[in-house]
Chains A and B, each alone.
Chain A
């Protein structure tokens, strides 16, 4: 079974155009010419960059390059796609575009292994999440199960410039806790980052 790989560093040929980069990948994976041409057009539509077909990579923005490198990994129709930190260093708008692209690929039936330091990215994109510590998987579950384990609501309490977060199963409990106490509180829904900090954070050594 063939897999596709998108490394953290964008490894495109800067001197070559978007089309040429995709074409060479297709050649390296022994795709016939007709199939290559068809797939390139399909992928350029997919990443909404048909207008940039003949643009040299060196003139593209970071987000566009990231989309091209992801499309390139899809050229040979892999069943599994490995994405290593696909949105690192990108601004929030571009990050969301990349997320949409990843969702689209996922909905197309490709299994995606994605590594990320952005936990909200894992929460948004992943069906299953594995938390790693010192190179080893320490917990593996669905994002929802992770969050359910700690509660539904999180109350951030500012204490001496530190945030202390307390988790509650319902909103009323959280409101009762606040009661007549003075201070700065933020009540919000629990997210995957809370689950990570609560379940794993204690094990992560502060280096």
Chain B
């Protein structure tokens, strides 16, 4: 039923390996800027929930970057589909759509884990070392599973590479800034909190923060992200079959 997923995943890994240093460098730039500008600059004397702003910021950056990098698999799919026409190759191969979506989603998760690791290394250089336990990594995996699945869906639905970038501008960028990354959602007015709680990234940020502070995160973010991830994963299978037709 999922035979062939590894071929799809392996192809993405090879491409990632070929562009590793470029990718790693580009994954480092934004977090580094945020850490310097917001962490060292604006938030130097700020304390939130008994932690320094840098300690508050790092889990938020991990949540945001894992989302962005998982979603970025959509760009790779688009490049392969619209410029290199590799999708024709997958179409003619005897692999089920489920295997294709699984391979691409895993590639998105891998990118997210890589970018999260880079952030932790950079923040370590700034002297920030938190608790990177199993709860911490599992919520990152779930968060990236959601956005990698969304990316597969969108990559199959868009008609050009430009459309995919537009989608990122309207969905990912607002979520990156409003999903509890740079500030505590609890400080906002009640209605805003309710609104922002609709975003999966808000829950991911909370859970990643809790885990990295050594607290046991609520079960709710895990269930929520699993549910959303599965819905988009299934939608991804449908979108692939639609794109094939």
Contact = CB atoms under 8 A, between A and B. Distances in A.
B38 interface: no
B18 A24 contact: no
Nearest to A2: B94
Contacts of B220: none
A11 B84 contact: yes
Contacts of A173: none
B11 A24 contact: yes
Interface residues of A, number: 18
Nearest to B19: A15
Interface in A9-28: 9, 11-16, 20, 24-25, 27-28
B7 A24 contact: yes
Contacts of A30: 3-4, 94
Given A20-B14, A25-B89, A27-B6, A13 B84 contact: yes
The number of chain B residues touching the other chain, given as a range, is 20 to 34
Contacts of A7: 85, 88
Nearest to B87: A11
Interface in B79-115: 80, 84-86, 88-90, 92-95
A122 interface: no
A56 B18 CA distance: 10
B238 interface: no
Contact of A28 (B4, B19, B85): B4
A109 to B, nearest CB: 21
Contact of A24 (B10, B84, B92, B94): B10
A101 interface: no
Contacts of B94: 2, 28-30
A13 B7 contact: no
A11 B3 CA distance: 23
B219 interface: no
B88 A11 contact: yes
A159 B120 CA distance: 81
Interface of B: 3-4, 6-8, 10-11, 14-15, 18-19, 80, 84-86, 88-90, 92-95
Interface of A: 2, 5, 7, 9, 11-16, 20, 24-25, 27-30, 56
13 contacts: A5-B92, A7-B85, A9-B85, A11-B85, A11-B88, A13-B11, A16-B18, A24-B10, A27-B7, A28-B7, A28-B90, A28-B94, A30-B3
